[in-house]
Structure 1
Amino acid sequence: MVKIYRKSVSLSALWVSSNERLSDFYASSWQRGECPIPMLVLRVLFTGVALAILIWSLIEAPTPYWLIYLTNWGLMLVTSLFMCGILVSSMAMYNKSYETKELPWYASLYWAVFNISITISIMITALYWLLLYNTGVEDETDERAFWLDVSTHGITSCLAVVELLSSRTPVRFLHVYQPLSMGLWYVVFSGIYHVAGGTDVNGNPFIYEILDWSQSKRAGIIVAASMVGLIIVYAFIWGIALCRDKVSTYLIRTTSHDLPAAPPDRHTRIV
C-alpha cells in the first residue's frame, strides 16, 4: 500500500518545486513559442493597476486597522502575484537556456502565490458582494467609497482571472491545500485578535460582523461554509485552467516535434 501511494502522489506533486517546463510560468497560452515578452508586458501593466488600487486603499484608510481586513490581505496577495510574475518573466529574458523539471525558487514562489491569490481574491469578491455590501450610496464620500469597493472587490479579482486565462501556469488540484491554509490562517488570526480584545475601525469587538467570535456557533458555520467555498472556487479555477490548456493547445500552440524526415521505403519508394 505504501509503495502504491508513493507512486501515485509524490512530494514534488504536492509542493510547487517541479514541473515539466519552466516556460509554463512565463509564456502565454495564446502565443506560439515561448517568448517571455507578451506576459512580461501584461504583468507590468497589471502590477501598475494593482499598485494604484493598493495605494488608493491606503490613502483612504491610513490607519493600523487596514491590516486586519481580509480584503486588504487579498489586495496585497494579488499585487504580489504580478510582482512575482514580473520576476519570473524577467529572469526568463536572461536565462533562456535554463530548462529543467526542478523549478528555481522564484518560479516556485510565483506558483504558490498564484494558487493562493487567485482563489482568495475570487472568494473575497463573492463573500463581499453577497454578504457584506451595503447598497446605500448617498453622498460624495459614499460614492468614492463605492468605487474603491469596486476596485478592491472587483477589479483586482478580474486582473487575477486574466492572469489565469492568459498564462500557461499549471493548476494542480492537489494544491488546493494552499489557499485553504491561507484561509485557515486568517481564521486563526481573527480568533486571536478577538481574544486579545481587538476591534474594528469603528470600535466593534470583531473584524467582520459575520465572523463575530462572541457568537462562536455562527462564526464556526461561516468558517466551515467558507472552507467549502474555497474548495469549490479552486475546483472552478482548476477546470478553467484545464479548458484553457486544451483550447490553446488545439488552436494556438505547436504540439508536434521537429523530427527528421523518414527515409523512403526501399520497395515502394513512398515516404
Structure 2
Amino acid sequence: MDACIRNNVKVIGKGKQTMVLVHGFGCDQNVWRYITAGLLANYRLVLIDQVGVGNSALAAYDSDKYATLHGYAADIVEVCHSLALQDVILVGHSVGAMISLLSAIQEPELFSKLILIGPSPCYINDHDYIGGFEQADINAILAMMNKDFRSWANAFAPLIMGNPECPSLAHELIDSFCHADSAIAKEFARVMFLSDNRQDLPKVITKTLILQCSEDIIAPAEVGAFVHHAIPDSTLITLRATGHCPHLSAPIETLAAIETFLHQAGPVENHASAVAGIA
C-alpha cells in the first residue's frame, strides 16, 4: 500500500518549502488546525495520520513493524519519498517528535530543520535522569489502559492537556483518544512509554528546535534540557504555555516561536520566551 494512502496524507498550502507535521499519541492530523492557517502562505504542508488513528488504513497495521518507534519513522521517510520531497522542515509533537527525530537520523539528507514540541526520549526516571515517571507509574498507566481504555482517557486527558480553565481542550483530547482504534492505541502506548531513545539524540545532525512548555506533566523541564544538551545543533525555547499540547492551548505563541526559529540566522539561548510580546 502506498504510504500516502496508508497514512491518509493531505497536502495543503502554497509555499515553496515543505513542512511535514507529525502528531502525537491518540491524535490525528486535525490537531494542527490552529497553527496551519498561519503557515499556509509560506509553506506547503504535509499532514499525516499515523496508522491506527484518524482516516489511516487500519488494515496496514503490523504489530511487528510498529513494535518500535522506528516503524513509524519509516512511514515518515516513505511519505517523503512518495511525494519526492526535499529540504523538508519536520515538525513532531510528543511521541511524534521522537518519531520525527528517528526519521531525521534515518535519512538526514531529506530534512533541513527539525522542530520537536514536548519531546521525551525516555519517560522513566533512571538514576540522575528525570523522565517524569517511575516504572511503577508507567506500569499502572498501561494496566489502566488495558482494563478500561475509555476510563483511562477520561482520567488522563485533562492531566495531559492541562489548562483546566479551558475544559473544552481536555474534552477534545478525550474524544480523539476514544476515536482511535483502542487495540492499536494500547500497543502504541506500550511502545511509547517503554521506549528509551536517549542514545539516539547525539546522532541528530539536523538543525533542531525544542519547544518546552513551562509546566508539562508528560515532558517536564528537565527532559527538555536533556534533549537540548544531547542534540549538537539545537535551540531550546521554553514557552509560557502550560500543558503538553501548546499547538492547541497556545497556538499563537507556538507559531511565533516556530517562525522565529525558521527565520533567525543562528541558535538562540534558552529563555522563558524567544518571542517578545507574545500573549
Q: TM-score, normalised by structure 1?
A: 0.24
Higher radius of gyration, 1 or 2 = 1
Richer in helix (by share): 1
Q: TM-score, normalised by structure 2?
A: 0.24
Richer in strand (by share): 2
Q: Which has the higher contact order (CA 8 A, sep 6+)?
A: 1
